[in-house]
Amino acid sequence: MIKNPIKVIVSALSISVIGVYIIDYFSHLLFSEPMETTGYFLGKFTVFFVFSILFLSYINLTKREFKKVLIGGIVVASIWGSYYNVLPILFDYYPAGIALNGLTFLNMGLFGTGVAFGIVHTTAFVGGYYLTKVMFKKWYNNNITS
């Protein structure tokens, strides 16, 4: 089944906007201290957008959709966490934003904050996917084809 590239790109854009600029942004705004930078959200948006294009293009979601979307959310959250938290420690660089050890999620400490942000980033992808699916119901009924 060949998927319509315009539908894939529009859906990926929607998943990224909803996931990063609504779910993740408000999670940071309400629960983390200090607030993350604009560069952080732009970087995360880019990672989510590229991942969403690949995910929607290559993953068949006709069976076990929720399980596949959840795994996709865990993968993209892990990619982002590695880029933003693990690689900086290993290579001594810090992309635009605040390192994990400079943030706190409801004062939960480094480990708790890392787990909380992993859950939030996974939820951002899953929530973005399902809100997009509701918004573009007709496209998703056709599996983003034709």
**pLDDT tens digit sequence for 23-39:** 999 999 999 888 888 98
Entry pTM: 0.88
Instruction: Bin 23: left if φ > 0, else alpha if -120 < ψ < 50, else beta.
Output: alpha
Give the separation between CA 14 and CA 16, rounded to whole angstroms.
Answer: 5
pLDDT tens digits for range 61-115:
889 999 999 999 999 999 998 888 777 778 877 776 777 777 888 888 888 888 9
The total number of residues shown for the chain amounts to 146
The domain limits of the chain are: 5-141
